[in-house]
Amino acid sequence: MANKVSGLSYGLSTTQTPSRSSNQLLCDANKHYTPFKTPPSFQPSPFTHEFIQSLGNKLVIETLQETIRKLEEKVRVLMNGANMEPLNLLELIDDIERLGLSFKFEEDINKALLKIVSIENFEDQTGKSLHETALLFGILRRHGFDVSQDIFMSFKDEEGKFKAEISNDVEGMLSLYEASYLSFEGESVWEANAFSRTHLMNLMKEGLMDAKMAEKVSHVLEGLPYHRSCFRLMARECINKYDKIEPHNLLLLELAKLNFNIQQSSYQNELKELSRWWWDIGLSTKLKFVRHRLVESFIWSLTIFPEPQFAICHKELTKVGYLLTILDDIYDIYGTLDELELFTNAIERWNVNSINILPDYLVLCFLAIYNTVNGIAYEIFKERGIKCLPYLTKSWSNLCKAYLQEAKWFHNKIIPPFNKFLQNARISISGGVILTHSYFFVSKDITEQVLHSLTNHHDMLSSSFTIFRLTNDLATSTDEIERGETSNSIISYMHETTLPEENVRRYFKTLIDKEWKILNKYLVMDSIFPKSFVQVVINLVRSAHCIYQYGDGYGRQNNISRRRMESLLVYQFPTTNVS
């Protein structure tokens, strides 16, 4: 039976005692009773304004473009060759995507997949390898083709279970494992996840694969599945590990390196411009108590908009992300309830006269948000004639109200019931603000139906926000508990169920898998959302997995997170002319 929560205390039942671990967690969460007037000290960002302005890989872009054009043409000839076997074509497409080159070959990939679909007999995979079938399934679903899970029927027994004899096919099992992450809610293909993972781990333990394959399998099983990874962040890692020796693969590798270097140069220029904006608005010097995460916000924008044609989106979304971070810290660790009530009302009214009753630090924050969002709305209207300001401001207002609710829970020492917390947390995770701005960035045809859905918890958005929130809390809860916060999904669920923290974490991972299956359906189904926006939503969720893969990669970076950012922004690849 769930514990009831009082409005003035933690509300523990007198007839039921939480488990030891739950008690300890509640004790930790109760360290602070007032707002932090001596706030916790955040790690300074290693990426200073001076460091950013020093970036520059000094490429001669014009010279490289001709080499790139020749390499692209060679790859294009390969893809469209009449003699290309389906498996070789699928592997080439998979390589192109993993090396960060899919934006250059979108039309060619779609043409190739349509050709495969037109000749493929999906109901009969007899004679096809497990590797080819699983690769086909994964690539088609990623590209919006509604291929049935029945494609795996020839690899199952009469009871519908995967046959034991396929368990020794390392390459096939690895592809099956990756493909399982494209499953829909209720599909039995999800069973392939545990099946393939278990057998791959057993094969590694028994030494039944060579060292190179063992390293590859270990990397896949210990990391994020490709479908849940940030393709832009993964491209460098894939280039580093790409060691095929066939001539066309060497061409592809060289193209990937040149493309990476050119994109890195563009990122550096974008980041320099953003750093000047960041320096000019002055919040980094005026608000010492908040996290200053400009580069981290920029990386986040790249994970949501990985294609280079979205440079403007990178810059504008980075500004939004930076301001969201400041706002989050003000509500979480600094503002009093009275101050936060006034600020929330000011954001809701969106009236500059509201600053007259705000303390100075909130005046700075309000004007920074007000000017930035108005500027974004102005540019969108100037370029495309779309009046988006009411929707942008509504998203900020909803967010501040959710932040305020969490602040009230904290100030009143309340641990809310899990479902109540999650309902509010889907908003406070800030996905609504990010996606509302993103919708106007990428969508050509703006519809009232989508605009309504952005603020009314459509299933697709609700699933994405749930994953975003749970992934965040799994990574950041330890730090939040240490500084006395009570608004956390792990705390709420432990308090309500009396389960130990380890069990709650395992359960949350199953919830994340469930919500992903709902999201996957939107890759292939017709909905009110344009496909370009569906990709943005899924990329937002991928970004959460990547940023929080090794702990809090945003608020408290570790060496892995820092090296990943540096590899994307600082270090270029040596190249050779193989055109």
Is 356 a domain residue?
A: yes
Distance CA 308, CA 49 (A): 23
Are residues 251 and 280 located together in one domain of the fold? no
Is 165 a domain residue?
A: yes
Question: What residues of the chain score a pLDDT lower than 50?
Answer: 1-38
Are residues 311 and 219 located together in one domain of the fold? no
Return the amino acid letter for 512: I
The answer to whether the CB of 255 falls within 8 A of the CB of 71 is: yes
Are residues 485 and 504 located together in one domain of the fold? yes
Is 61 a domain residue?
A: no
Are residues 403 and 280 located together in one domain of the fold? yes
Distance CA 498, CA 489 (A): 13
The answer to whether the CB of 184 falls within 8 A of the CB of 517 is: yes
The three state secondary structure string of 179-194 is HHCCCCCCCHHHHHHH
Are residues 320 and 227 located together in one domain of the fold? no
Are residues 538 and 487 located together in one domain of the fold? yes
Residue appearing with tokens 């940030």: 230
- Both tokens of 198, joined, read 């278990």
Q: What is the DSSP string of 283-330?
A: HHHH-TTS---HHHHHHHHHHHS-SGGGHHHHHHHHHHHHHHHHHHHI
Give tens-digit pLDDT for 420-459.
Answer: 999 999 999 999 999 999 999 988 889 999 999 988 878 9
Is 6 a domain residue?
A: no
Is 332 a domain residue?
A: yes
Are residues 533 and 471 located together in one domain of the fold? yes
- HSE at residue 551, side-chain half, CA atoms within 13 A, is 11
Tally the domains of the chain: 2
Q: How many other C-beta atoms can be found within 10 angstroms of the C-beta atom of residue 327?
A: 24
User: Which CATH number belongs to the domain containing residue 87 in this structure?
Assistant: 1.50.10.130
Distance CA 237, CA 568 (A): 10
Distance CA 346, CA 336 (A): 15
User: Which CATH number belongs to the domain containing residue 423 in this structure?
Assistant: 1.10.600.10
- Both tokens of 128, joined, read 């096809």
- pLDDT of 553 reads 54
Helix (H, G, I), strand (E, B) or coil at 564: helix
Is 24 a domain residue?
A: no
Distance CA 490, CA 478 (A): 10
Maximum Cα–Cα distance across the chain: 76
Are residues 346 and 442 located together in one domain of the fold? yes
Cα–Cα distances in angstroms (integers) from residue 343 to residues 33, 313, 394, 401, 430, in the given order? 22, 27, 14, 10, 17
Distance CA 438, CA 221 (A): 32
Helix (H, G, I), strand (E, B) or coil at 156: strand
Are residues 232 and 150 located together in one domain of the fold? yes
Q: Among residues 256, 281, 304, which one ends one of the domains? A: 256
Distance CA 445, CA 451 (A): 11
Q: Among residues 228, 256, 284, which one ends one of the domains? A: 256
- pLDDT of 558 reads 66
Is 51 a domain residue?
A: no
Query: CB-based contacts of 167: which residues, under 8 Å, 6+ apart?
Result: 173, 195, 199, 203
Question: Domain of 111?
Answer: 81-256
Dihedral of the alpha carbons of 267, 268, 271, 273, in degrees to the nearest 10: -110
Give tens-digit pLDDT for 400-422.
Answer: 999 999 999 988 989 999 999 99
Is 69 a domain residue?
A: no
Are residues 432 and 540 located together in one domain of the fold? yes
Are residues 114 and 263 located together in one domain of the fold? no
Are residues 269 and 234 located together in one domain of the fold? no
Distance CA 299, CA 196 (A): 33
Q: Among residues 226, 256, 286, which one ends one of the domains? A: 256
